[in-house]
């Protein structure tokens, strides 16, 4: 795992100027690659490439980057892992001369012989890379199929900048940043900035499964897709698995075993995250079954009730025979992390599980350099409870006219949550699960707000949304479309549940889950690998009929059945807890003064970006305990904290 960056000027530039700029940019990525650094400058072309290396395969100097091809034509900076590099090496034949055994060298040799367009579909890995063609003076940027590794790019003050993280771009001596208010509006709805947008105007995220080619004299790169999640999903639904359910399960286990085995290749210590849930249990069980010694596993626990998964992981580790380590996190540990978040993520990012993910990564890094993670199982196999809730809710709601539902919602919302609490708490044992809690009034208000959607997709959008009308919060903004709001971007899957799974695979998975895992792990120089996102697993999962994955109110059936081959169900069958923190209570307690300073009306008005009134209303209701607005408020707080932590900020700009 590594970090890359670069700059391309529109004309020749002095080598010293380019070297100074690329050094400053590269230095910001030391956490992604503490083991080595390098740069390469073509002053006549106005190009500079920078690289920081975390040595995983071929720890020798032969893996140094930037790497020049044997023919001398291509120069490569690469971030990630090509898991099938050994097979690709063999395919090039015995006459190929090798300097070392790194996957970077294999990738470069394949490109030199076959070109980028023919090489990318052959790769099994997570990666982002920048390739300079010295002969044609052309730059190519590429990203893996599902977006495990990040890559930002764009024009800024007449020069083309690119890098693994935004901090590398903003470190250029001539950087001038302008806030993209439209992207900010999308962020307030989703809690992350969706690709291809970034928080800065003119700077974009390269979409997963694509490569960008910028030729000399062109002002914009040409974007080409070499793989499509939409096509994979539609092909799977149109051509389902031909065998029996039992045969499909055997095929999936075999495929997962191979995907995990490929990701266990490393010349450094390797382990796995173990939460005790289904996904991580399946990964660790299949790791341990093909390891000659105990796999190192890591879990994190909280003392607060309802947030502690450590006991489940501990019992599973004992059963599987892993070498297990756990860390119990105090509130102070979490609070101490808050100040670091804006610089770790570089743009507003408000998934609160970023805190335990970072702490877990820091603990694991003390023992290993590579960790396998179970992310992706919910999106591929229908594991989120929101899929079941939306499906079942729409079956009933769809029969009720929208006007009637809206009238009912207005009636419920006229009664305050404290009143509903007094009415519903005595009935707790008779109420459905979501209302049988301490604050049923708050849940009821949120539920009726969601129930006014005119379609199942609209229902899902409202349930996922934090701020329901974020463009009304951000001054001068127009919210951009996403797969959640534009039907033209969705796959034709044939069911509500699969539609939601696809939308999450295209949006939530790459732009929230994988961003969280990448930044949290890379912040401590830990490489995280995700076997469930092997593209072969993705394609196979979409070929399975939905009723093999979700039956009644139970999802992820194939993964559950694989787990049962290695563990008693009692060890992993439990309600999904998520990976959160007690944010609601922290904002009323130890984080209150910090939040109050960031949400002060005078501060918000002086910034001129957000309307203070709706934000203050939610803050006051939250402090009074009338509603739990913690997630809405965390969105605003992470943006405000990002503003404070962005010293090279130049202009707040206007919406475009």
| Residue 95 assigned as binding residue | no
| Residue 334 assigned as binding residue | no
For residue 656 the two structure tokens come to 């475009």
| 521, 371 contact by CB (below 8 A) | yes
304 φ/ψ sector (left φ>0, alpha ψ -120 to 50, else beta): beta
Q: How far is CA 444 from CA 395, 401, 410, 414, 459, in A?
A: 19, 20, 12, 12, 15
**DSSP reduced 3-state for 67:** strand
Query: At 459, which helix (H) or strand (E)?
Result: helix 456-464
The full 3-state SS of 536-580, as one line of letters, equals: HHHHHHHHCCHHHHCECCECCHHHHHHHHCCCCHHHCCCCCCCCC
Instruction: Give dist(CA 236, CA 227) in Å, integer.
Output: 14
Q: Which residues of 269-302 are buried (b: 16+ CB within 10 A; e: fewer)?
A: ebbbbbbbbbbbbbbbbbbbeebeeebbbbbbbb
For residue 597 the two structure tokens come to 């300073």
For residue 235 the two structure tokens come to 């092909």
Instruction: Give dist(CA 571, CA 276) in Å, integer.
Output: 8
Dihedral angle over CA of 581, 587, 591, 594, nearest 10: 130
Length, in residues, of the chain: 656
| Residue 374 assigned as binding residue | yes
Instruction: Give dist(CA 26, CA 41) in Å, integer.
Output: 13
Strands 2-8 and 47-53: antiparallel
How much of the chain is helix, strand and coil, in % rounded to 5? 50, 15, 35
Give the CA angle between residues 128, 130, 135 to the nearest 5°. 150
Q: Is 567 a catalytic residue?
A: no
Instruction: Give dist(CA 523, CA 535) in Å, integer.
Output: 26
**DSSP reduced 3-state for 58:** coil
| Residue 589 assigned as binding residue | no
Instruction: Give dist(CA 152, CA 77) in Å, integer.
Output: 14
Give the E-state strand segments of 421-541 in sequence order.
527-529
Binding residues for L-glutamine: 103
Catalytic residue numbers read 2
* Residues of each annotated binding site for ATP: 300, 373-374
Give the residue numbers of the binding site: 103, 300, 373-374
């Amino acid at each position: 795992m590594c970090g890359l960056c670069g700059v391309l000027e529109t004309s020749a530039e002095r080598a010293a100027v380019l070297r100074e700029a690329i050094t400053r940019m590269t230095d910001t990525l030391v956490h992604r690659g503490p083991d080595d650094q390098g740069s390469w400058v073509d002053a006549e072309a106005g190009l500079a490439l920078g690289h920081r290396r975390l040595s995983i395969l071929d720890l020798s100097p032969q893996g140094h980057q930037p790497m020049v091809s044997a023919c001398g034509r291509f120069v490569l900076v690469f971030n990630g892992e090509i898991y099938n590099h050994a097979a690709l090496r063999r395919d090039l034949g015995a006459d190929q001369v090798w300097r070392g055994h790194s996957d970077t060298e294999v990738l470069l040799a394949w490109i030199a012989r076959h070109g980028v367009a023919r090489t990318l579909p052959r790769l099994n890995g997570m990666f982002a890379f920048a390739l300079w063609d010295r002969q044609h003076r052309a730059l190519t940027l590429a990203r893996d199929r599902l977006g495990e590794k990040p890559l930002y790019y764009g024009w800024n003050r007449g020069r083309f900048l690119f890098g693994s993280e935004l901090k590398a771009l903003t470190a250029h001596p001539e950087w001038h940043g302008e806030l993209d208010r439209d992207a900010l509006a999308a962020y307030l709805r989703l809690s992350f900035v969706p690709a291809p947008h970034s928080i800065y105007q003119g700077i974009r995220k390269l979409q997963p499964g694509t490569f960008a080619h910028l030729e000399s004299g062109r002002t914009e790169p040409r974007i080409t897709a070499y793989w499509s999640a939409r096509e994979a999903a539609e092909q799977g639904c149109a051509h389902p698995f031909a065998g029996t359910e039992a045969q499909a399960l055997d095929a999936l286990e075999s495929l997962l075993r191979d995907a995990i085995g490929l990701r266990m290749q490393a010349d450094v210590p390797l382990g796995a995250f173990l939460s005790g849930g289904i996904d991580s249990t399946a990964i660790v069980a299949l790791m341990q079954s093909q390891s000659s010694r105990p796999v190192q596993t890591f879990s994190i626990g909280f003392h607060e009730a309802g947030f502690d998964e450590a006991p489940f992981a501990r019992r599973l580790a004992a059963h599987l025979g892993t070498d297990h380590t756990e860390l119990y996190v105090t509130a102070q540990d979490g609070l101490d992390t808050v100040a670091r978040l804006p610089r770790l993520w570089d743009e507003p990012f408000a998934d609160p599980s970023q805190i335990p993910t970072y702490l877990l990564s820091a603990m694991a890094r003390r023992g290993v350099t590579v960790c396998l993670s179970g992310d992706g199982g919910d999106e591929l196999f229908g594991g989120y409870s929101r899929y079941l809730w939306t499906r079942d809710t729409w079956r009933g709601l769809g029969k009720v006219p929208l006007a009637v539902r809206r009238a009912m919602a207005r009636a419920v919302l006229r009664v305050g949550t404290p009143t509903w609490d007094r009415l519903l708490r005595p009935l707790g044992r008779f109420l459905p699960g979501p209302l049988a809690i301490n604050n049923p009034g708050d849940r009821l208000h949120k539920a009726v707000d969601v129930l006014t959607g005119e379609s199942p997709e609209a229902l899902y959008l409202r349930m996922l949304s934090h701020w329901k009308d974020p463009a009304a919060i951000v001054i001068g903004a127009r919210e951009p479309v996403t797969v959640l709001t534009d039907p033209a971007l969705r796959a034709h899957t044939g069911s509500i549940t699969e539609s939601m799974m696809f939308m999450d695979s295209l949006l939530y998975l790459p732009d929230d889950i994988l961003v969280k895992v990448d930044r949290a792990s890379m912040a401590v120089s830990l490489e995280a690998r995700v076997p469930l996102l092997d593209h072969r697993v993705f394609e196979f999962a979409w070929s399975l009929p939905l009723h093999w994955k979700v039956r009644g109110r139970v999802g992820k059936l194939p993964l559950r059945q694989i787990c049962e081959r290695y563990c008693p169900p009692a060890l992993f069958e439990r309600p999904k807890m998520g990976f959160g923190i007690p944010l609601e209570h922290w904002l009323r307690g130890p984080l209150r003064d910090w939040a109050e300073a960031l949400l002060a009306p005078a501060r918000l008005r002086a910034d001129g970006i957000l309307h203070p009134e709706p934000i203050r209303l939610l803050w006051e209701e939250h402090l009074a305990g009338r509603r739990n607005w913690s997630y809405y408020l965390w969105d605003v707080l992470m943006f405000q904290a990002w503003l404070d932590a962005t010293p090279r900020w130049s202009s707040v700009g206007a919406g475009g």
